[in-house]
Amino acid sequence: MNIKFNTKESKITEHGIETMENKFNLRFNRILSNVSDEELTFHVKVVDKKLQYKVELTLNYMGYTLRAETYDKLSSIAALDKAMDIMERQIVKVKTKLSRVKNQVPEFKGEATATDEDAEPANYEVVRVKSYEMKPISVQEAIMNMNLLGHTFYTFLNRETDKISTVYKRKDGDYGLIEPQ
């Protein structure tokens, strides 16, 4: 398992990083034993912010992006423990979901014929569709539009990159930007 730490915004020591790595190995080697180490990369960001510690934990696992963000006033290790609890629950949830899907797939016998009756109903229902004209705008204009609409995210055509991007409001009050590769 690979662990990449981003500690630029914190005062964490090498000993603290070693402690965190040991916690990861003890916690996740057991539940991720079926996945090779090369396939697993945890991204850990530790931030010291206004008398509290923030830990952001991200993992790409089996095609899913799992993310946990926690805060603690005492230490970054305590915040990491909380984030690992959340991440462990998410991993178990994905593993359970994938095993259910795997067990529901019937074994192939003979020719395949597709009919509308064979298709399983979707679990998710779209209850509202919105459409709007996309003119190229800057990230700042997109944030302003999002705030004017009272939304927590806004998808737009980025003037700088000519790609469709999304800005969103984070739990900490800052803004994020999602861009395709």
The two beta strands, 2-9 and 41-49, are parallel
Confidence of residue 37 (pLDDT cuts 50, 70, 90): low
**Residue 119 burial (CB count, 10 A):** 8
Of the candidates 70, 48, 49, 50, the residue with the CA atom closest to the CA atom of residue 58: 70
What pLDDT sits at residue 120? 55
pTM for this predicted structure: 0.57
Cα–Cα distance measured from residue 130 to residue 109, given in angstroms and rounded to the nearest whole number: 43
Question: Domains along the chain?
Answer: 2-103 (3.30.160.100), 136-178 (3.30.505.50)
Confidence of residue 179 (pLDDT cuts 50, 70, 90): very high
